[in-house]
Structure 1
Amino acid sequence: MKEALLILGHLPTKQNEKEAWYLNTFASESQASFKLDRRLNVWYLHSEGIGGNITDFMKKYLNASVSEVLVWAE
């Protein structure tokens, strides 16, 4: 998940060995509300109350279906 965010141009605003915080990847904000749990490799967007795994993230990020995300990943 961390690598996907990096490829998409998103860098953490703060991080430690357990988690990394990012600015909202879906909307403009000044304080990070997007948390990546580095141990479980899942994300949670506090400002919207949603989260999940990398597939869930890419579906939202690309506004696409699972099959479209898999095509993009190739």
Structure 2
Amino acid sequence: MFAFESDGYWLFNAKESELPQIEKANERFLTKDKASRKQLESLKKMKVSRKLELPIPPAIDYPGADTQLQPET
């Protein structure tokens, strides 16, 4: 497990001569992060509220309290 510092611009801080792979990983992360942020911003700008309009169902006429239900034969 490795711990690296971040300065807000670079994902990892390291000397290039010591860990050149870190610079590659950092560049890939920043590229993907910038692309995903741009995509998220464009989606937020294009966001359209969607509503599902459904017809109101007709009221159900329930039998009154004094009505006796008869079993079907």
TM bucket (normalised to shorter chain) is under 0.3
Structure whose residues are more often strand by fraction: 1
Larger RCO, structure (CA 8 Å, separation 6 or more): 1
What is the TM-score of this pair, normalised by structure 1?
Answer: 0.25
Question: Which structure is larger by alpha-carbon Rg, 1 or 2?
Answer: 2
Structure whose residues are more often helix by fraction: 2
What is the TM-score of this pair, normalised by structure 2?
Answer: 0.25
